[in-house]
Amino acid sequence: MPALQVAPEKTYFVLDGRPFFYLADTVWSAFTSVTEEEWKEYLEYRKLQGFNALQINVLYQWDASVPYLRFPFRRDERGEYSSFQIDEAYFDFAEGLLELATQKGFIPALVLLWCNFVPDTWASQRGIPMVMPFETMERYVEYVVQRFKKFSPIFIISGDTNFGSQETVRYYLRALEIVKSIAPQALTTFHLQPQADLPEDILHSPYLDFYTYQSGHVKAEQHFPYVLGEKFAALTPQRPVVNAEPCYEGHPYGFTRENRFRALDVRKAVWQSLLSGASAGVAYGAHGIWCWHRKGAEFRGVEFSGEPLEWRVALALDGAWDVALAKFIIERFRLFGLRPAQDMVMTPNPEIRAATTFDGKTTVVFLPSPQSISLKLNGTAWEDVWGVDLEERRFFRPDVCCRSEVVEISALPANHDYLLVFTR
Protein backbone atom coordinates (compact mmCIF):
# COMPACT_ATOMS: atom_id res chain seq x y z
CA MET A 1 0.00 0.00 0.00
CA PRO A 2 1.46 3.44 -0.89
CA ALA A 3 2.43 5.66 2.01
CA LEU A 4 0.52 8.79 2.94
CA GLN A 5 2.55 11.98 2.43
CA VAL A 6 2.37 15.64 3.42
CA ALA A 7 1.47 18.00 0.58
CA PRO A 8 4.02 20.71 -0.34
CA GLU A 9 1.67 23.33 1.10
CA LYS A 10 2.05 21.65 4.54
CA THR A 11 -1.68 21.83 5.31
CA TYR A 12 -3.08 18.55 3.96
CA PHE A 13 -2.10 15.04 2.89
CA VAL A 14 -1.61 13.37 -0.48
CA LEU A 15 -1.85 9.71 -1.45
CA ASP A 16 -0.63 8.54 -4.85
CA GLY A 17 -0.19 12.20 -5.78
CA ARG A 18 -3.83 13.13 -5.04
CA PRO A 19 -5.20 15.19 -2.14
CA PHE A 20 -6.32 12.97 0.72
CA PHE A 21 -8.75 13.86 3.51
CA TYR A 22 -8.01 11.86 6.67
CA LEU A 23 -11.23 10.42 8.13
CA ALA A 24 -10.41 8.05 10.96
CA ASP A 25 -12.56 5.99 13.25
CA THR A 26 -11.32 5.52 16.81
CA VAL A 27 -11.01 1.85 17.73
CA TRP A 28 -8.25 1.95 20.33
CA SER A 29 -8.97 -1.54 21.72
CA ALA A 30 -9.06 -3.55 18.50
CA PHE A 31 -5.92 -5.60 19.05
CA THR A 32 -6.86 -6.70 22.56
CA SER A 33 -10.60 -7.08 22.24
CA VAL A 34 -12.15 -7.90 18.84
CA THR A 35 -12.73 -11.28 17.29
CA GLU A 36 -11.91 -11.76 13.61
CA GLU A 37 -15.59 -12.05 12.69
CA GLU A 38 -16.47 -8.88 14.62
CA TRP A 39 -13.61 -7.08 12.88
CA LYS A 40 -14.86 -8.08 9.44
CA GLU A 41 -18.36 -6.86 10.31
CA TYR A 42 -16.98 -3.59 11.66
CA LEU A 43 -14.75 -2.96 8.62
CA GLU A 44 -17.59 -3.55 6.18
CA TYR A 45 -19.77 -0.94 7.87
CA ARG A 46 -17.13 1.76 8.24
CA LYS A 47 -15.97 1.16 4.65
CA LEU A 48 -19.57 1.65 3.49
CA GLN A 49 -19.63 4.99 5.28
CA GLY A 50 -16.42 6.23 3.68
CA PHE A 51 -13.89 6.08 6.52
CA ASN A 52 -10.31 5.63 5.34
CA ALA A 53 -8.21 5.36 8.52
CA LEU A 54 -8.36 3.53 11.85
CA GLN A 55 -6.81 4.78 15.10
CA ILE A 56 -5.62 1.78 17.14
CA ASN A 57 -3.63 1.41 20.35
CA VAL A 58 -0.89 -1.17 19.72
CA LEU A 59 -0.88 -2.12 23.41
CA TYR A 60 -3.85 -2.47 25.73
CA GLN A 61 -6.16 0.45 26.57
CA TRP A 62 -6.05 0.82 30.35
CA ASP A 63 -9.60 2.24 30.56
CA ALA A 64 -11.24 -0.14 28.08
CA SER A 65 -13.83 -2.82 28.69
CA VAL A 66 -12.49 -6.06 30.14
CA PRO A 67 -11.66 -8.89 30.13
CA TYR A 68 -9.25 -8.56 27.21
CA LEU A 69 -9.31 -11.44 24.78
CA ARG A 70 -5.53 -11.31 24.41
CA PHE A 71 -2.59 -9.42 25.92
CA PRO A 72 0.61 -8.11 24.29
CA PHE A 73 2.98 -9.49 26.93
CA ARG A 74 3.54 -12.99 28.28
CA ARG A 75 3.06 -13.72 31.95
CA ASP A 76 6.26 -14.21 33.96
CA GLU A 77 6.86 -16.87 36.62
CA ARG A 78 4.76 -14.85 39.10
CA GLY A 79 1.83 -14.72 36.70
CA GLU A 80 2.39 -11.03 35.98
CA TYR A 81 2.95 -9.07 32.75
CA SER A 82 5.50 -6.64 34.19
CA SER A 83 8.49 -8.22 32.43
CA PHE A 84 7.18 -6.93 29.06
CA GLN A 85 8.05 -10.14 27.20
CA ILE A 86 6.48 -9.87 23.76
CA ASP A 87 3.68 -12.37 23.12
CA GLU A 88 4.13 -13.33 19.47
CA ALA A 89 0.59 -14.73 19.26
CA TYR A 90 -0.83 -11.31 20.13
CA PHE A 91 1.12 -9.61 17.38
CA ASP A 92 0.30 -12.39 14.92
CA PHE A 93 -3.38 -11.69 15.53
CA ALA A 94 -2.86 -7.92 15.27
CA GLU A 95 -1.05 -8.40 11.98
CA GLY A 96 -4.02 -10.38 10.67
CA LEU A 97 -6.38 -7.55 11.64
CA LEU A 98 -4.19 -5.02 9.82
CA GLU A 99 -4.07 -7.24 6.76
CA LEU A 100 -7.87 -7.29 6.62
CA ALA A 101 -8.08 -3.53 7.20
CA THR A 102 -5.54 -2.54 4.56
CA GLN A 103 -7.18 -4.86 2.04
CA LYS A 104 -10.30 -2.72 2.53
CA GLY A 105 -8.30 0.45 1.93
CA PHE A 106 -7.92 1.65 5.53
CA ILE A 107 -4.72 3.33 6.69
CA PRO A 108 -3.72 2.16 10.19
CA ALA A 109 -2.84 4.95 12.62
CA LEU A 110 -1.05 3.09 15.39
CA VAL A 111 -0.41 4.49 18.87
CA LEU A 112 2.92 3.20 20.15
CA LEU A 113 3.10 4.48 23.75
CA TRP A 114 -0.13 5.38 25.52
CA CYS A 115 0.68 7.71 28.39
CA ASN A 116 0.53 5.06 31.14
CA PHE A 117 3.59 3.31 29.64
CA VAL A 118 5.81 6.40 29.99
CA PRO A 119 7.10 7.98 33.25
CA ASP A 120 5.79 11.25 34.70
CA THR A 121 2.66 11.50 32.58
CA TRP A 122 -0.68 12.19 34.26
CA ALA A 123 -1.60 8.49 33.98
CA SER A 124 1.64 7.05 35.33
CA GLN A 125 1.56 9.56 38.19
CA ARG A 126 -1.89 8.24 39.11
CA GLY A 127 -0.42 4.75 39.39
CA ILE A 128 -2.02 3.35 36.24
CA PRO A 129 0.25 0.45 35.20
CA MET A 130 2.70 -0.10 33.57
CA VAL A 131 5.71 2.15 32.89
CA MET A 132 8.33 0.56 30.64
CA PRO A 133 12.03 0.78 31.42
CA PHE A 134 13.75 2.92 28.78
CA GLU A 135 15.69 0.09 27.13
CA THR A 136 12.56 -2.10 27.09
CA MET A 137 10.67 0.72 25.40
CA GLU A 138 13.35 0.96 22.73
CA ARG A 139 13.19 -2.78 21.99
CA TYR A 140 9.39 -2.74 21.93
CA VAL A 141 9.19 0.22 19.51
CA GLU A 142 11.78 -1.36 17.21
CA TYR A 143 9.81 -4.61 17.19
CA VAL A 144 6.48 -2.97 16.41
CA VAL A 145 7.79 -0.71 13.65
CA GLN A 146 9.68 -3.56 11.99
CA ARG A 147 6.63 -5.80 12.17
CA PHE A 148 3.98 -3.34 10.99
CA LYS A 149 5.84 -1.03 8.59
CA LYS A 150 4.73 -3.16 5.60
CA PHE A 151 1.19 -1.81 6.12
CA SER A 152 2.31 1.81 5.47
CA PRO A 153 0.85 2.99 8.78
CA ILE A 154 0.87 6.33 10.49
CA PHE A 155 2.74 6.00 13.78
CA ILE A 156 1.15 8.01 16.60
CA ILE A 157 4.01 8.16 19.06
CA SER A 158 1.96 9.04 22.15
CA GLY A 159 -1.55 8.47 23.46
CA ASP A 160 -3.46 11.03 25.56
CA THR A 161 -0.20 12.34 26.93
CA ASN A 162 1.10 15.35 28.72
CA PHE A 163 4.81 15.95 29.27
CA GLY A 164 5.40 15.90 33.01
CA SER A 165 9.19 15.93 32.94
CA GLN A 166 12.22 15.90 30.70
CA GLU A 167 12.28 12.13 31.16
CA THR A 168 8.82 11.95 29.53
CA VAL A 169 10.18 13.93 26.60
CA ARG A 170 13.25 11.66 26.38
CA TYR A 171 11.08 8.56 26.03
CA TYR A 172 8.85 10.00 23.35
CA LEU A 173 11.63 11.69 21.41
CA ARG A 174 13.61 8.45 21.30
CA ALA A 175 10.55 6.53 20.11
CA LEU A 176 10.08 9.11 17.34
CA GLU A 177 13.71 8.71 16.27
CA ILE A 178 13.41 4.91 16.19
CA VAL A 179 10.32 5.08 13.97
CA LYS A 180 12.04 7.26 11.41
CA SER A 181 15.22 5.19 11.44
CA ILE A 182 13.28 2.03 10.55
CA ALA A 183 10.34 3.43 8.52
CA PRO A 184 11.45 6.82 7.17
CA GLN A 185 8.43 7.13 4.85
CA ALA A 186 5.88 6.63 7.64
CA LEU A 187 4.12 9.77 8.86
CA THR A 188 4.38 10.54 12.57
CA THR A 189 2.38 12.56 15.07
CA PHE A 190 1.55 12.81 18.80
CA HIS A 191 -1.85 12.30 20.40
CA LEU A 192 -2.07 14.79 23.27
CA GLN A 193 -4.13 15.52 26.34
CA PRO A 194 -6.36 18.55 25.52
CA GLN A 195 -4.33 20.99 27.64
CA ALA A 196 -0.88 19.70 26.59
CA ASP A 197 1.69 21.59 24.55
CA LEU A 198 4.41 19.97 22.47
CA PRO A 199 7.85 20.42 24.07
CA GLU A 200 10.33 22.38 22.00
CA ASP A 201 12.52 19.32 21.33
CA ILE A 202 9.59 17.49 19.76
CA LEU A 203 8.03 20.53 18.08
CA HIS A 204 11.24 21.23 16.16
CA SER A 205 12.18 17.63 15.44
CA PRO A 206 12.62 16.98 11.70
CA TYR A 207 10.97 13.59 12.32
CA LEU A 208 7.56 15.03 13.27
CA ASP A 209 5.22 15.20 10.26
CA PHE A 210 1.88 16.59 11.42
CA TYR A 211 0.04 17.88 14.47
CA THR A 212 -2.94 16.34 16.15
CA TYR A 213 -4.90 17.58 19.11
CA GLN A 214 -7.76 16.31 21.24
CA SER A 215 -10.66 18.68 21.89
CA GLY A 216 -12.09 16.16 24.32
CA HIS A 217 -15.22 15.16 26.17
CA VAL A 218 -15.77 17.88 28.78
CA LYS A 219 -18.91 19.90 28.06
CA ALA A 220 -17.40 23.16 29.33
CA GLU A 221 -14.46 22.77 26.92
CA GLN A 222 -16.37 22.46 23.67
CA HIS A 223 -14.76 25.67 22.44
CA PHE A 224 -11.53 23.66 22.17
CA PRO A 225 -12.25 22.46 18.59
CA TYR A 226 -11.73 25.97 17.21
CA VAL A 227 -9.39 27.35 19.89
CA LEU A 228 -6.94 24.45 19.54
CA GLY A 229 -7.37 24.37 15.76
CA GLU A 230 -6.18 27.98 15.59
CA LYS A 231 -3.37 27.28 18.07
CA PHE A 232 -1.86 24.32 16.21
CA ALA A 233 -2.29 25.90 12.78
CA ALA A 234 -0.24 28.88 14.00
CA LEU A 235 2.71 26.78 15.20
CA THR A 236 6.12 27.01 13.59
CA PRO A 237 7.09 24.95 11.69
CA GLN A 238 3.83 24.68 9.82
CA ARG A 239 2.43 21.17 9.47
CA PRO A 240 -0.98 19.66 8.68
CA VAL A 241 -3.37 19.65 11.65
CA VAL A 242 -5.98 17.04 12.62
CA ASN A 243 -8.44 16.97 15.51
CA ALA A 244 -7.81 13.33 16.41
CA GLU A 245 -10.32 13.17 19.26
CA PRO A 246 -13.42 15.38 19.20
CA CYS A 247 -16.19 14.50 21.65
CA TYR A 248 -17.20 10.86 21.29
CA GLU A 249 -20.80 10.38 20.27
CA GLY A 250 -22.70 8.76 23.13
CA HIS A 251 -20.07 9.80 25.71
CA PRO A 252 -21.40 11.55 28.87
CA TYR A 253 -20.20 15.05 29.64
CA GLY A 254 -16.92 14.04 31.34
CA PHE A 255 -17.13 13.34 35.11
CA THR A 256 -20.60 14.94 35.40
CA ARG A 257 -22.33 11.94 33.76
CA GLU A 258 -25.06 14.39 32.73
CA ASN A 259 -26.47 13.77 29.27
CA ARG A 260 -24.42 12.45 26.36
CA PHE A 261 -22.86 14.02 23.31
CA ARG A 262 -25.10 13.65 20.29
CA ALA A 263 -24.61 13.87 16.55
CA LEU A 264 -25.09 17.65 16.62
CA ASP A 265 -22.23 18.03 19.12
CA VAL A 266 -19.99 15.90 16.91
CA ARG A 267 -20.86 17.88 13.76
CA LYS A 268 -20.18 21.13 15.56
CA ALA A 269 -16.77 19.94 16.82
CA VAL A 270 -15.83 18.58 13.40
CA TRP A 271 -16.73 21.63 11.34
CA GLN A 272 -15.37 24.12 13.86
CA SER A 273 -12.08 22.21 13.76
CA LEU A 274 -11.92 21.98 9.97
CA LEU A 275 -12.59 25.70 9.50
CA SER A 276 -10.23 26.88 12.26
CA GLY A 277 -6.95 25.41 11.02
CA ALA A 278 -7.34 21.64 11.51
CA SER A 279 -8.25 21.11 7.88
CA ALA A 280 -6.19 18.00 7.05
CA GLY A 281 -8.78 15.65 8.49
CA VAL A 282 -10.66 14.54 11.56
CA ALA A 283 -11.32 11.49 13.68
CA TYR A 284 -14.68 10.24 14.90
CA GLY A 285 -15.34 8.25 18.06
CA ALA A 286 -18.35 6.30 19.27
CA HIS A 287 -18.59 5.52 22.98
CA GLY A 288 -18.57 1.76 22.90
CA ILE A 289 -16.42 1.26 19.80
CA TRP A 290 -13.15 2.72 21.12
CA CYS A 291 -13.30 0.49 24.22
CA TRP A 292 -15.01 -2.41 22.37
CA HIS A 293 -17.73 -2.81 24.97
CA ARG A 294 -19.80 -5.97 25.17
CA LYS A 295 -23.00 -6.32 27.14
CA GLY A 296 -22.18 -7.25 30.72
CA ALA A 297 -18.48 -6.39 30.48
CA GLU A 298 -16.69 -4.34 33.11
CA PHE A 299 -15.76 -0.88 31.81
CA ARG A 300 -12.71 0.53 33.58
CA GLY A 301 -13.20 4.15 32.54
CA VAL A 302 -16.59 4.64 34.20
CA GLU A 303 -15.40 7.38 36.59
CA PHE A 304 -14.90 9.86 33.75
CA SER A 305 -16.80 8.31 30.87
CA GLY A 306 -19.87 6.65 32.35
CA GLU A 307 -21.22 3.40 30.94
CA PRO A 308 -20.54 2.86 27.23
CA LEU A 309 -22.98 1.52 24.68
CA GLU A 310 -22.64 -2.04 23.42
CA TRP A 311 -20.28 -1.94 20.45
CA ARG A 312 -22.86 -2.81 17.79
CA VAL A 313 -25.19 -0.11 19.10
CA ALA A 314 -22.32 2.38 19.05
CA LEU A 315 -21.36 1.33 15.53
CA ALA A 316 -24.78 2.38 14.25
CA LEU A 317 -24.83 5.86 15.83
CA ASP A 318 -25.92 8.53 13.40
CA GLY A 319 -23.00 10.91 13.79
CA ALA A 320 -20.66 8.66 11.84
CA TRP A 321 -22.71 9.45 8.73
CA ASP A 322 -22.32 13.16 9.48
CA VAL A 323 -18.53 13.02 9.55
CA ALA A 324 -18.66 10.93 6.37
CA LEU A 325 -20.69 13.74 4.80
CA ALA A 326 -17.96 16.18 5.88
CA LYS A 327 -15.45 14.12 3.92
CA PHE A 328 -17.76 14.11 0.90
CA ILE A 329 -18.13 17.91 1.04
CA ILE A 330 -14.38 18.46 1.40
CA GLU A 331 -13.74 16.24 -1.62
CA ARG A 332 -16.70 17.46 -3.70
CA PHE A 333 -15.74 21.14 -3.36
CA ARG A 334 -11.98 20.40 -3.21
CA LEU A 335 -11.59 22.12 0.15
CA PHE A 336 -8.04 20.92 0.79
CA GLY A 337 -5.77 23.21 2.77
CA LEU A 338 -8.48 25.54 4.08
CA ARG A 339 -7.24 28.67 5.84
CA PRO A 340 -9.22 30.27 8.69
CA ALA A 341 -10.96 33.46 7.60
CA GLN A 342 -12.72 34.72 10.72
CA ASP A 343 -12.23 38.35 9.68
CA MET A 344 -14.93 37.73 7.04
CA VAL A 345 -17.58 37.13 9.72
CA MET A 346 -19.27 40.37 10.79
CA THR A 347 -21.90 38.68 12.96
CA PRO A 348 -20.64 38.56 16.60
CA ASN A 349 -20.68 34.85 17.39
CA PRO A 350 -17.35 33.00 17.89
CA GLU A 351 -19.04 29.65 17.18
CA ILE A 352 -19.62 30.72 13.58
CA ARG A 353 -16.46 29.69 11.73
CA ALA A 354 -15.23 30.61 8.26
CA ALA A 355 -12.36 29.46 6.06
CA THR A 356 -11.22 29.86 2.49
CA THR A 357 -9.11 27.80 0.10
CA PHE A 358 -5.56 28.89 -0.76
CA ASP A 359 -6.60 30.09 -4.21
CA GLY A 360 -9.47 32.13 -2.76
CA LYS A 361 -11.99 30.45 -5.03
CA THR A 362 -14.08 28.82 -2.31
CA THR A 363 -15.20 30.06 1.10
CA VAL A 364 -17.02 27.92 3.67
CA VAL A 365 -18.99 29.16 6.67
CA PHE A 366 -20.38 26.99 9.49
CA LEU A 367 -23.37 28.12 11.56
CA PRO A 368 -24.24 26.01 14.62
CA SER A 369 -27.85 27.21 14.55
CA PRO A 370 -30.06 29.33 12.28
CA GLN A 371 -29.40 33.05 12.31
CA SER A 372 -28.97 35.84 9.84
CA ILE A 373 -25.36 36.50 9.02
CA SER A 374 -23.28 39.24 7.44
CA LEU A 375 -20.00 38.46 5.69
CA LYS A 376 -17.30 40.69 4.22
CA LEU A 377 -17.31 39.30 0.71
CA ASN A 378 -17.36 40.85 -2.72
CA GLY A 379 -20.80 39.54 -3.62
CA THR A 380 -20.58 40.18 -7.36
CA ALA A 381 -17.49 37.96 -7.65
CA TRP A 382 -19.21 34.76 -6.47
CA GLU A 383 -20.54 32.52 -9.18
CA ASP A 384 -22.41 30.11 -6.95
CA VAL A 385 -23.64 29.79 -3.38
CA TRP A 386 -24.78 26.53 -1.79
CA GLY A 387 -26.17 25.75 1.61
CA VAL A 388 -25.90 22.36 3.31
CA ASP A 389 -28.41 21.42 5.99
CA LEU A 390 -26.14 19.25 8.11
CA GLU A 391 -28.86 17.55 10.14
CA GLU A 392 -31.01 16.57 7.18
CA ARG A 393 -27.95 16.07 4.93
CA ARG A 394 -29.45 18.00 2.03
CA PHE A 395 -28.30 20.84 -0.17
CA PHE A 396 -30.28 24.05 -0.69
CA ARG A 397 -30.04 27.52 -2.21
CA PRO A 398 -29.79 30.21 0.50
CA ASP A 399 -31.40 33.63 0.27
CA VAL A 400 -28.43 35.91 -0.44
CA CYS A 401 -28.46 39.71 -0.51
CA CYS A 402 -25.33 41.51 -1.77
CA ARG A 403 -24.62 45.06 -0.59
CA SER A 404 -21.32 46.27 -2.04
CA GLU A 405 -18.69 44.04 -0.37
CA VAL A 406 -21.08 42.77 2.30
CA VAL A 407 -23.16 39.64 1.84
CA GLU A 408 -26.24 39.19 4.01
CA ILE A 409 -27.89 35.80 4.32
CA SER A 410 -31.19 35.10 6.02
CA ALA A 411 -31.52 32.39 8.65
CA LEU A 412 -32.32 28.89 7.47
CA PRO A 413 -36.06 28.22 7.99
CA ALA A 414 -35.36 25.15 10.15
CA ASN A 415 -33.74 24.53 13.52
CA HIS A 416 -30.55 22.95 12.16
CA ASP A 417 -26.83 23.61 11.88
CA TYR A 418 -25.65 24.28 8.35
CA LEU A 419 -22.86 25.29 5.99
CA LEU A 420 -22.65 28.00 3.38
CA VAL A 421 -20.30 27.35 0.46
CA PHE A 422 -19.33 30.21 -1.86
CA THR A 423 -17.55 29.32 -5.11
CA ARG A 424 -16.23 31.22 -8.10
Q: pLDDT tens-digit profile of 294-344?
A: 999 999 999 999 999 999 999 999 999 999 999 999 999 999 999 999 999
β pairing state of 107-114 and 154-159: parallel
Could you give the angle at which helices 134-148 and 88-103 cross, rounded to 10 degrees? Answer: 40
What DSSP line would sit under 293-307, residue for residue? --TTPEETTHHHH-P
Q: Which of 410, 354, 348 is nearest to 377 (CA)?
A: 354
- Give pLDDT tens digits for 242-273: 999 999 999 999 887 789 999 999 999 999 99
Output the pLDDT for position 80. 74
Of 9-18, 78-87, 124-133, 313-322, the least confident: 78-87
Write the pLDDT tens digit of every residue in 156-172: 999 999 999 999 999 99
Please state the pTM of the whole predicted model. Answer: 0.96
The CA-based dihedral angle spanning residues 35, 214, 251, 128, taken in that order and rounded to the nearest 10 degrees? 70
Residues 314 and 293: beta-carbon distance below 8 Å: yes
User: What is d(CA 128, CA 210) in angstroms, rounded to the nearest whole number?
Assistant: 28
Residues 6+ apart with CB under 8 A from 233: 241, 276, 277, 278, 340
**Shortest CA distance to 369 belongs to which of 264, 248, 216?**
264
CA pair distance 423, 397, nearest whole angstrom: 13
Radius of gyration of the chain measured on its C-alpha atoms: 21
Strand-pair partners of 355: 340, 364
Mean of the per-residue pLDDT values of the chain? 95
Give the pLDDT mean for 189-217. 98
Q: How many CB atoms lie within 10 A of CB 394?
A: 11
> What is residue 380's predicted lDDT score, i.e. its pLDDT?
58
In this predicted model, what pLDDT tens digit does every residue of 67-102 receive, in sequence order?
999 999 998 777 777 789 999 999 999 999 999 999
pLDDT at 379: 58
Residue 88, pLDDT score: 97
